[in-house]
Structure formats: structure tokens, C-alpha cells
Amino acid sequence: MRMNWTGLTAAALGLALFSEASAATHKRTDRLIAGAREAMARGVPAAAVRQAEAAVREAPRDPQARATLGRAYLAVGRFRSAETAFGDALALDPNQARVAINRALAQIAMGRADEAMALLDSLRGGGNDSDVGLALALLGRSDEARPLLIAAARAPGADARVRQNLAFAYALEGRWNDAAAIAAQDVPADLVAERLRRWAMVGQLRANPAMQVGAMLGVLPSPDAGQPEALALVVEPVPASAPVLLSHVPTPPAPPPPLITPPPVEPSEPVVTAFAGPPRMRATRPVLLAAHVVPVRPALAWAVQVGAYSTVERTEIAWAALGRRATFLADHMPTGSAFRRRGVLLHRLSIGGLASRADASTLCRRIRSTGAQCFVRLDGGDRPMQWALRAKAAEPA
């Protein structure tokens, strides 16, 4: 039997050329992914989006390119596009826990709480409980978030990020004493009050999930029509194999998913695992909410007001006096806000963040039993008193 060596040489040459082209594609994709991550690290997310989109066009079946694109979309507040990109990345490689957590974060921002909850449930016990717990806290599932975060914080090797996730979750619950005590373990005492103030701001956005997630990441939600159609992930059926005739140059097969070893993830990329505290929101763009965000009915919070005083200093004196009579108030963080009555500026002294009117009424009755006065009202956005935060931060951890 005679072999057609001319055809065989042509086939080998074709495969060699294909391999070279594939290697060049891998290199270009690597450079684009690295450029996108560098742009995010420099705080230029729009450039990161351009680089990441180019990486996906170059290698549409590369899960790392898709994941990087999702992080870039998060960094510009495009939650709908981010959710799509993360979903595509998981379709290509389901074993990406951080990508799944980021997808849940985008779903929370879009008001798709049930989908986010199902995704987070699938991640429990997989070694990412601190991140899962923080996402659950954003969903308002405090009773489920707390044990995960406490266990993660107590685990050997737990770092400052894990502890700050727990402190942030306590802040979202309104448990300011616990939040301050844990934050003070890793944050200088003179910065704890500012950290808690920023957490309080994030907590007060709970009625608007897009703004709340955006505040946590330090971005403003942007109008988002979705990921460009040209970047859609297409899963093509694998054709039946056909015999290869050695007398002809074979058509190169479809390239396999590229094997890419990207550079380490930059610590500044936007992921749900934050919490050195949310960075300040950029004010360079108008606050425009994405059209896809589903409105959520606001949850009411209640407060017990114990007085109103002419100066902030008087609120501190009044709280100290009340604490001597009602020692159980040591478990509560005093809150307050300023208002004007008949042209006079007054400062409320309250206990805020109570989950229900019944809880507030019970607390007020206990206060009245000591001979003090109080009344129940809706929480109007009171903040923790600065003097209380400073005192708490000064306590030993």
C-alpha cells in the first residue's frame, strides 16, 4: 500500500500553522486580561471594560476572560451585564466560587433575591463562608449570615478581611456595639467612627438594592441595556467526526478552550469580599438607576427617642445619666439626628434600628419602668452618635 506523503506533509503543515495561530491568540488574550485588571487596579473601570470585551472577542470560550469582563462591568455599575458575564464564565467553568459569589452580588443589585439565594445556598461549606455570609447579610438574611461569619472569623488563619465582613454584617443588623468592637481589632481607633459611619450609610440604602450594592463597591449604578450581543456565549453542537483523507489538508478543528494562566487577581478588583469599608462613591456621573432594577418595598425600622437637646454634648451627658438608671441600655448604641423646631436646632437622642414597633414598644416600656421618659417613632435615618463610637472604639478588644 502506497502512502500519499505529499498529502500527509500538507496536513502536518496545516496543523502546525493552526497551533501557531492558537498560541498567538492565547498571548493576545492574556495581555488583554492583564490590561483589564491593571485598569481596575488604577481605578479606570471604563478602560477595563474595553480591554475585557476585547479579550472575550479574542477568546469567546475562555472562562477567565468572561470572569474579568464581569468584574469590569461591576466596577462601572453595570449589574445586568455583569450578571450575564459571570453566568457565561460559570457555564464554561462551574468551579469558580468567587465568580459565583460575584454573580450573586449582581443578582442582589438587580433585585433578583431568590436567584441570588439559590446560588449562595449551593456555595455553603465550600470554603467561602465569609463571602457567602456577607452576601446573605446584604439580602437581609441575618440569622443565616451570622453563624457563617462567626465561624469563619473564629477559624484558624482568619484574617482582617474576614473579621471586617463580620463587623459589617453586625452593622447591617444595627448591632453597633458588636460592629465597633470587632472593627476595632483591625482598624486604628481614630478611624473606627468613620468606618461605622460609612457602614451606616450602606445599611440605610437597603430599600434600593442597586444603590446599596453600588455603595458597598464604591460605584454608582449605571444605565445598562445588557452585554453586547456580539459577546454572547454560543454553545455549538459538536459535529460527528468524519474520516480524514491523507491526500487532502484537513480543516483545522474548532479550537479548544484556551489554557490560560493569568496573573494574580488584583486586590482592588470589585468583589463582594470587601470590607475594609466601602470606598467613597464617585461623584463624576449622575445617579441613574439601571432600568432593569426591580423596586423593593422599603422595610420599616423603628426607634425609641429618649430626649432632644440643644447641643450634642448634652446628649452625651443625658445618655450617661440614663445609663445609670437603665443599665440594660449598655447593650444598645445611642443614635441621633438634628432637626429644627421653631427655628431652634435640636439634637435627638434615640435608640434606632429596631426591627419592629413591638420591639421598640417593649424597650420603651423598660425605660419608663426606671422613671425615664421615651416614645416610639419611625427611624428617620438616625446615625450612631460620634461620641459613643469613639468611646466604644477605645474599649479593649
Q: What average pLDDT does the segment 342-364 reach?
A: 88
The region of weakest confidence among 269-278, 320-329, 387-396 is 269-278
Amino acid at 376: V
Cell of 12: 502536518
pLDDT band at 393 (very low <50, low <70, confident <90, very high): low
CATH of 302-394, one of 3.30.420.40, 3.30.70.1070, 3.40.50.2300, 3.30.830.10: 3.30.70.1070
On whether the CB atoms of residues 275 and 167 are closer than 8 A, the answer is yes
Measured between alpha carbons, how far is 90 from 88 in angstroms, rounded to an integer? 5
**Rg, Å, the chain Cα set:** 27
Residue 335 — left, alpha, or beta (φ > 0 → left; ψ -120 to 50 → alpha)? beta
Cell of 189: 481607633
On whether the CB atoms of residues 271 and 102 are closer than 8 A, the answer is yes
Give me the CATH code for the 26-226 domain, please: 1.25.40.10
The region of weakest confidence among 22-26, 86-90, 263-267, 333-337 is 263-267
CATH 1.25.40.10 range(s) for the chain read 26-226
Largest CA distance in the chain: 110
Beta bridge partners of 345: 340
Measured between alpha carbons, how far is 294 from 280 in angstroms, rounded to an integer? 25
Outline where DSSP puts E strands in the chain: 302-309, 334-336, 338-341, 344-354, 375-378, 383-384
More confident residue, 64 or 341: 64
Environment class of 36 (CB within 10 Å of its CB; exposed 0-12, middle 13-18, buried 19+): buried
CATH 3.30.70.1070 range(s) for the chain read 302-394
**DSSP conformational letter for 248:** S
**DSSP conformational letter for 377:** E
Measured between alpha carbons, how far is 210 from 288 in angstroms, rounded to an integer? 10
pLDDT band at 218 (very low <50, low <70, confident <90, very high): confident
Measured between alpha carbons, how far is 268 from 287 in angstroms, rounded to an integer? 23
* HSE-CB of 75 using CA atoms within 13 angstroms: 25
pLDDT band at 299 (very low <50, low <70, confident <90, very high): very low
Measured between alpha carbons, how far is 232 from 74 in angstroms, rounded to an integer? 18
User: pLDDT at residue 258 above 90?
Assistant: no
C-alpha closest to that of 111 among 202, 213, 199: 213
What contacts 376, CB < 8 A, 6 or more positions away? 302, 303, 304, 305, 357, 360, 361, 364
Measured between alpha carbons, how far is 217 from 395 in angstroms, rounded to an integer? 30
pLDDT in tens, 37-50: 999 888 888 999 99
Residue 113, pLDDT score: 94
Outline where DSSP puts E strands in 125-241: none
What contacts 69, CB < 8 A, 6 or more positions away? 36, 49, 52, 53, 55, 56, 85, 227, 231
What contacts 205, CB < 8 A, 6 or more positions away? 211, 212, 215
Q: What average pLDDT does the segment 262-272 reach?
A: 38
User: pLDDT at residue 381 above 80?
Assistant: no
CA distances from 132 to 86, 95, 220, 296 (A): 16, 15, 23, 22
3-state helix, strand, coil in the chain (%, to 5): 55, 10, 40
DSSP 306-328: EEEESSHHHHHHHHHHHHHH-GG
Average pLDDT for the chain: 79
3-state SS class at 36:
helix
